[in-house]
Chain A
Amino acid sequence: QKEVEQNSGPLSVPEGAIASLNCTYSDRGSQSFFWYRQYSGKSPELIMFIYSNGDKEDGRFTAQLNKASQYVSLLIRDSQPSDSATYLCAVLFSGGYNKLIFGAGTRLAVHP
């Protein structure tokens, strides 16, 4: 079983819609979760992090965490073509030192 799983996509949404990106993880002890955006040919850029169950909002982005279900998601409201990128979910390994485990990423395509 992969430690961090994401649907590879592509997830295609029309401009202005809500894009919903999902991630599940296997390490029950994990406490910290991150979403990175990676444009083609570029390095990952941190866009959200979440530690507590529930929702965390930052502009058009909302991260949702459910530790009981080992599930974290990212919602992008009013999607724009500039949001088209690969979104990487990362989980902080609970084994005692700072190690991020990344999912394979979901490719998002926002079409006009």
Chain B
Amino acid sequence: SAVISQKPSRDICQRGTSLTIQCQVDSQVTMMFWYRQQPGQSLTLIATANQGSEATYESGFVIDKFPISRPNLTFSTLTVSNMSPEDSSIYLCSVDLRGVLETQYFGPGTRLLVL
């Protein structure tokens, strides 16, 4: 299994500001994913972050709004830029330990409220 931590666990932010969420995993992984889960909704993939290459964004998500860094095989950050109340959500990182998805683990999530 994998131990995944996220920081911060929760935050309240003002509109127009930016927040960077960190994801740390206790083993080296090739693929890391960032998801959003809005209240009462399921998970929506924002982007896939692979070390050594640019993140791959899903439809509806753009790099200017959600820049991602992946400096090494155990760490990634997601920034939510120029926030609005619509960005209030839970943001989750997940990792795929072996590249075949049956071992995908989720971090504890970051609960974001934008006022």
Contacts and interface: CB of A to CB of B under 8 A. Distances in A.
Interface of A: 32, 34, 42-46, 49, 88, 92, 97-105
Interface in B75-115: 92, 96, 99, 101-109
A43 B3 CA distance: 13
18 contacts: A34-B104, A42-B108, A43-B92, A43-B106, A45-B106, A49-B101, A49-B102, A92-B101, A97-B48, A97-B56, A98-B31, A98-B96, A99-B58, A100-B101, A101-B45, A104-B41, A104-B42, A105-B42
Interface of B: 31, 41-45, 48, 56, 58, 92, 96, 99, 101-109
Contacts, number: 46
A32 B96 CA distance: 14
Contacts of A45: 106
Nearest to B103: A46
Nearest to B104: A46
Given A32-B101, A43-B92, A43-B107, A102 B43 contact: yes
Contacts of A99: 45, 48, 58
B109 A43 contact: yes
Nearest to A86: B42
Contacts of A49: 101-102
Contact of B104 (A100, A103, A104): A100
A112 B15 CA distance: 45
B72 to A, nearest CB: 20
Contacts of A34: 101-102, 104
Q: Which of B31, B101, B103, B109 has the most CB of A within 10 A?
A: B101
A102 B94 CA distance: 14
Contacts of B108: 42-43
Contacts of A103: 42
A45 B56 CA distance: 24
Contacts of B105: 46
A43 B107 CA distance: 7
A84 B11 CA distance: 28
Contacts of A46: 102-105
